[in-house]
Amino acid sequence: MTEAQEDGQSTSELIGQFGVGFYSAFLVADKVIVTSKHNNDTQHIWESDSNEFSVIADPRGNTLGRGTTITLVLKEEASDYLELDTIKNLVKKYSQFINFPIYVWSSKTETVEEPAEEEEAAKEDKEESDDEAAVEEEEDEKKPKTKKVEKTVWDWELMNDIKPIWQRPSKEVEEDEYKAFYKSFSKESDDPMAYIHFTAEGEVTFKSILFVPTSAPRGLFDEYGSKKSDYIKLYVRRVFITDDFHDMMPKYLNFVKGVVDSDDLPLNVSRETLQQHKLLKVIRKKLVRKTLDMIKKIADEKYNDTFWKEFGTNIKLGVIEDHSNRTRLAKLLRFQSSHHPSDMTSLDQYVERMKEKQDKIYFMAGASRKEAESSPFVERLLKKGYEVIYLTEPVDEYCIQALPEFDGKRFQNVAKEGVKFDESEKSKESREAVEKEFEPLLNWMKDKALKDKIEKAVVSQRLTESPCALVASQYGWSGNMERIMKAQAYQTGKDISTNYYASQKKTFEINPRHPLIRDMLRRVKEDEDDKTVSDLAVVLFETATLRSGYLLPDTKAYGDRIERMLRLSLNIDPDAKKFPLSHPFSFFGSPRHPFLRCF
């Protein structure tokens, strides 16, 4: 060792040569004594207090026969290592899968039969004669009297009785063995949903078994991103190293359980150093690929009914976070769609069902399926037979935004600009004629009635039943996204990008076939300064804001405008005041109000 130091080798190199495990003995021991007997030599004793050491021939002679014993004289503060349970737990945790057997000298209580003393035997005979005075039995041979006693028996107990099945070829391991192993190391009572057993070769060689549990662990997302769930156990040459590597699996796969065992990783360095080892990145990459292969092979029925319900959010987060595996993860996505009232659909299935000449995947986001499918934005799409994907979870729209395309088809949010339909030359001429007809109304809305509220007003191609809708730009927020962003727990209103998106004006689309819109066009042509028409335009805008999923900035003003419209519909003077009451009255609605007095 001294020669190695003089040659300029670093301390870490010395530890690598002489074994960090041996040096760690001095962390708990004041003195280490090694007694060893070689087959062709006399027995010797090596003793050290970490500062100096001595080697002498054992004055006791050959007491071992052959082999080595290591004795630790423990420090006072390390006395818990004298506890049998502490020793057992350490062996089971770190050396459960070592190839050679590890025994611990331990005791257990057994019940055995021993010959009874003469006085006790005579007492038992007397009790038997009293109890069975009326019964006479003849015995050719009297059995010796015994008694049951509890004795403490000491013996060697095998601690690593579970064999590392990942070291065996997968073809030789039965399914029941995988299930038993999973339950043993994961402490789960249910069978795994899926598993994969493989050997990876190349830059690093390792063996692994990975499992998908039947149900998601409790609190799976409680501390997502800040705390790594410890479900992957790393072994080096069957020696347990840690289950607390933050980079062994990406966050979105924090539900996967399994073991990884490699002979290529160094065993004689600290866990902190090992965590920075370049080979771990290679291992991580292969683990992710194998995990996605395992998930992909889960049967469709089992995948949709079980896996997606438990871990669907994880896959969506993976699409957002894992750029290198985004294409693979996209194939695992499932969504509700207009194709079926309850069954989930994959993006592959959607593309297979796309109409001829359809070049985009249409989706609509909402708080629920009912909200999404009743949105004015999907009216014409559904009427023309286009399939629309419904995004009903908060993470869904983030997920789709992270996907630039799928199978060469780009995504189109139907609540934003860009929804176009294939049209003939005749249809194009008809549309242009309608746009020219409604140009006075569109200009009046943009420049006067809704001047500070909208970017522009256009004739809609997507509406069939609703009078109007509020459409975001391609890079703006949809109503669903705005609702999610404003509901963020840490939203302070000071974020520049958030304020930018929130302040963007929208496009106001009108349905030229709707009677309200056609009547407004007539009135604007007659008198564009008509207060009633202006109120109607603003009410339509605010109603479209709500139906398009956005929030109203001023609900009181909206309520006041609705009241004015109701007064007009009931022929009540807009300036009519409350009526005086002759009797006290308690009511949630005011009996003095003109509306209630009409009834």
CATH number, domain at 379? 3.40.50.11260
**pLDDT-wise least confident of 141-145, 343-347, 371-375, 479-483:** 141-145
Residue that is last in its domain, among 46, 66, 82: 82
**pLDDT-wise least confident of 20-34, 331-345, 347-361, 390-404:** 20-34
Q: What is the pLDDT of residue 198?
A: 95
Are 282 and 346 found together in one domain? no
Q: What is the pLDDT of residue 18?
A: 46
Q: What is the pLDDT of residue 147?
A: 74
Question: What Cα–Cα distance (Å) separates residue 573 from each residue in 535, 556, 565, 569?
Answer: 16, 20, 11, 10
The answer to whether 17 is annotated as binding is: yes
Question: With bands split at pLDDT 50, 70 and 90, how would you rate the model's confidence at 599?
Answer: low
The answer to whether 22 is annotated as binding is: yes
The mean per-residue pLDDT over the stretch 104-121 comes to 74
Are 187 and 265 found together in one domain? yes
Q: What is the pLDDT of residue 508?
A: 96
The answer to whether 211 is annotated as binding is: no
For position 172, which CATH number holds?
A: 3.30.230.80
For residue 260, give both structure tokens: 């990884």
Q: What is the pLDDT of residue 202?
A: 87
More confident residue, 423 or 326: 326
Residues 537 and 451: beta-carbon distance below 8 Å: no
Residue 497 lies in a domain: yes
Q: Please say if the pLDDT value at position 132 is more than 60.
A: no
Question: What Cα–Cα distance (Å) separates residue 270 from each residue in 15, 248, 277, 285?
Answer: 10, 16, 11, 23
Are 170 and 268 found together in one domain? yes
SS3 112: strand
The answer to whether 204 is annotated as binding is: no
Residues 48 and 36: beta-carbon distance below 8 Å: no
Tell me what percent of the residues of the chain surpass a pLDDT of 70. 84
In this structure, the chain runs to a length of 599
Q: How far apart are CA 257 and CA 185, in angstroms?
A: 9
The answer to whether 312 is annotated as binding is: no
Residue 143 lies in a domain: no
More confident residue, 164 or 161: 164
Question: With bands split at pLDDT 50, 70 and 90, how would you rate the model's confidence at 11?
Answer: very low
Q: What is the pLDDT of residue 584?
A: 57
For position 45, which CATH number holds?
A: 3.30.565.10
**Number of Cβ within a 10 Å radius of residue 80:** 11
Q: What is the pLDDT of residue 130?
A: 52
The answer to whether 73 is annotated as binding is: no
Q: What is the pLDDT of residue 225?
A: 66
- Give the CB-side neighbour count of residue 137, counting CA atoms within 13 A: 9
Residues 6+ apart with CB under 8 A from 18: 1
Count helices and strands in the chain by DSSP H and E runs:
23, 20
The answer to whether 20 is annotated as binding is: yes
Are 547 and 437 found together in one domain? yes
For residue 513, give both structure tokens: 């076939």
pLDDT in tens, 555-597: 898 888 888 888 888 888 777 776 665 555 555 555 556 655 5
Residue 261 lies in a domain: yes
How many independent structural domains does the chain possess? 5
Q: Please say if the pLDDT value at position 138 is more than 60.
A: no
Residue 134 lies in a domain: no
Q: What is the pLDDT of residue 272?
A: 67
For residue 552, give both structure tokens: 């109203």
Q: What is the pLDDT of residue 271?
A: 66
Supply the mean pLDDT for the chain: 84
Residue 27 lies in a domain: yes
Are 351 and 365 found together in one domain? yes
**pLDDT-wise least confident of 1-5, 379-383, 502-506, 517-521:** 1-5
Are 186 and 289 found together in one domain? yes
Residues 192 and 179: beta-carbon distance below 8 Å: yes
pLDDT in tens, 452-508: 899 999 999 999 999 999 999 888 899 999 888 887 756 666 666 777 777 788 999
Q: Please say if the pLDDT value at position 118 is more than 70.
A: no
Q: What is the pLDDT of residue 270?
A: 64
Are 547 and 565 found together in one domain? no
Q: What is the pLDDT of residue 143?
A: 60
Are 283 and 200 found together in one domain? yes
The C-alpha angle with vertex 33 and arms to 29 and 37, in degrees rounded to 5, equals 150
Q: What is the pLDDT of residue 117?
A: 65
The answer to whether 61 is annotated as binding is: no
Residue 512 lies in domain: 425-553
Residue 29 lies in a domain: yes
The mean per-residue pLDDT over the stretch 263-270 comes to 73
Are 460 and 521 found together in one domain? yes
For residue 61, give both structure tokens: 């002679």
Question: With bands split at pLDDT 50, 70 and 90, how would you rate the model's confidence at 122?
Answer: low
Instruction: Please classify residue 309 by burial: count the beta carbons closer than 10 Å to its beta carbon, then call 0-12 exposed, 13-18 middle and 19+ buried.
Output: middle
Cα Dmax for the chain: 131
Residue 304 lies in a domain: no
Residues 6+ apart with CB under 8 A from 386: 355, 358, 362
Q: What is the pLDDT of residue 134?
A: 46
Q: Which residue is listed with tokens 């994961």?
A: 186
Are 547 and 564 found together in one domain? no
Are 540 and 470 found together in one domain? yes
**Number of Cβ within a 10 Å radius of residue 338:** 20
Residue 573 lies in a domain: yes
Residue that is last in its domain, among 350, 382, 413: 413
Q: What is the pLDDT of residue 585?
A: 53
pLDDT in tens, 498-535: 777 777 889 999 999 999 999 999 999 999 898 889 98
SS3 68: strand
Instruction: Please classify residue 65 by burial: count the beta carbons closer than 10 Å to its beta carbon, then call 0-12 exposed, 13-18 middle and 19+ buried.
Output: exposed
Q: How far apart are CA 517 and CA 459, in angstroms?
A: 11
SS3 519: helix
Which DSSP symbol is given to 460? -
Q: How far apart are CA 431 and CA 171, in angstroms?
A: 67
Q: How far apart are CA 332 and CA 344, in angstroms?
A: 12
Are 464 and 355 found together in one domain? no
Residues 261 and 98: beta-carbon distance below 8 Å: no
Residue that is last in its domain, among 296, 319, 353: 296
More confident residue, 32 or 161: 32
